[in-house]
Structure 1
């Protein structure tokens, strides 16, 4: 796999924010950025129209990545930026490009689904099928938003990074997802906040009926399970400060809440080979749509 960060670029504010985030990430990883602009050939009847002809369409298609690359090179002089244009169905082209990338970065719109390249089912298809990590970045996301507030109460790139948040299922912790989160925290010299949510087991009701309240025991068991799942990673990454949050209730809700004070949220998505369904997972789907900070969806077996 080439050590390159690929950005889906369509000229929207969401994709421009994604390109800026990708450049900052590339500086941390010391890898190049590739701006990929996908365009669909103009149908023949439209090509005959004077304002919508193929030449005009091609002109704008070439202008979008060129101007974006020029801006990134000025603002991030240490990052190598290349551009590429491909014709075809956006979802399929993005998925093909992702096979050659270390990371795929796309723009998204909070609370109302995905936009730009990601109109309708296209964006969810990319996230659900890509086997490399996909990072979704909101329109308006800025470098300062990733950093803690300075003494005046204003986020600043001169201060340290906000925490990286990892959503972890202690019943099936995956090495790929955990490694990604620890690496992101290490690069940022940021705290890693690991969040797990859980529900009371069915026997809880029967215990109450018998006059026994096992809630405190359950809380301790869940917290211990999280600590045990993270033990090898704490040893492997001794320089990463880790905080653990084991909470009763919806994992998605807890992750969305934690995102308000995070620089990045990391969630996993199990790879399924079936062609039917979106296969994103309920927690990842909810976080993608409602978190207010960049979200990394990491595919795993």
Structure 2
């Protein structure tokens, strides 16, 4: 596998924001950046129309990746940027492109007024069917958005990165997911905030409403289990400061709240071989649609 950061590009605001994020990540990783421009063939009668003729179509399909690559090279001197053009269904082409990438980066529309994402069908399909990490980036995402406030109270690319947030299910903590989050925090020289939201088993629910001692015992148990699950990675990455949180309640809600102070949110997706349907769990689905920071979805078994 060639180690590259690959980004899906279609000329939209969201794909341009994704390309900028991908360029920054490629520099952090020390790998090349590949821009993949996908166009869907149009029906023959439409393709023959004067405004959509072969020459016009060819002009636009070449211009978008060329101009994007030129701009990225200027803004990121020394970064190796290549382009690739492909035709077909975007979700299929991009999922295929991800196979040879360190990670795939896609853009998503921001939800006007409340932040977060509006993940389209292409993005969901790619996330659901690729076995490589996929990062979703909001339209208008800026480098400064990932950094702490400066003394004037304004985010600045000159200040340290905000923490990386990891959503972790301690019942089955996957090594690839945890390693991805620790590595992301390490190369940003920032802390890792691990969030494990939990709900009690159904048979505890009634008792919890009236028994604060029982609630406290369950909370201590969850906190201790999270500490044990992270111990091997704390030892492997001693340079990464880790904070652990085991709040009671819906995990997706806690991660969306944490995203407001994050440079990146990392969540997992269990790989299923059934070809039908979008295999994205409810927590990851909630984070994809409502996070205010870029979201990395790491598939695992």
Q: TM-score, normalised by structure 2?
A: 0.95
SS at the partner of 1:248?
Answer: coil
- Number of corresponding residues: 296
CA contact (8 A) 2:208 2:215 kept: no
Task: Sort the Cα spacing of 1:211 and 1:70 in 2 relative to 1 into closer, same or farther, 3 A.
Answer: closer
| Residues 252-295 of structure 1 deviation map (CA, whole Å, 9 limit, x = unaligned) | 00000000000000000000000122101111111001001100
Provide the residue aligned with 2:290 in structure 1: 290
Task: Sort the Cα spacing of 1:148 and 1:87 in 2 relative to 1 into closer, same or farther, 3 A.
Answer: same
CA contact (8 A) 1:42 1:57 kept: no
In 1, Cα distance between equivalents of 2:209 and 2:287: 36
SS at the partner of 1:240?
Answer: coil
> RMSD across aligned C-alpha pairs, in angstroms?
1.5
CA contact (8 A) 1:6 1:33 kept: yes
Compute the displacement of 1:216 (Å).
Answer: 1.0
In 2, Cα distance between equivalents of 1:6 and 1:87: 16
Provide the residue aligned with 1:18 in structure 2: 18
Task: Sort the Cα spacing of 1:208 and 1:244 in 2 relative to 1 into closer, same or farther, 3 A.
Answer: closer
Residue 224 of structure 2 is aligned to residue 258 of structure 1: no
Pick which of 149-158 and 261-270 moved more: 149-158
Provide the residue aligned with 2:114 in structure 1: none
In 1, Cα distance between equivalents of 2:155 and 2:93: 37
In 1, Cα distance between equivalents of 2:32 and 2:75: 14
In 2, Cα distance between equivalents of 1:3 and 1:158: 28
In 1, Cα distance between equivalents of 2:41 and 2:58: 9
Residue 184 of structure 2 is aligned to residue 184 of structure 1: yes
Structure 2 portions without partners, runs of 5+: 112-116
| Residues 45-91 of structure 1 deviation map (CA, whole Å, 9 limit, x = unaligned) | 11221111121111111100000000000000121100110111111
Structure 1 portions without partners, runs of 5+: none
Compute the displacement of 1:186 (Å).
Answer: 0.2
Compute the displacement of 1:210 (Å).
Answer: 9.1
Q: TM-score, normalised by structure 1?
A: 0.95
Residue 200 of structure 2 is aligned to residue 200 of structure 1: yes
Please give the residue correspondences for 1:60-209 in structure 2 after superposition, counting only pairs within 5 Å.
60-111=60-111, 113-114=118-119, 118=120, 121-205=121-205, 207=207
CA contact (8 A) 1:104 1:133 kept: yes
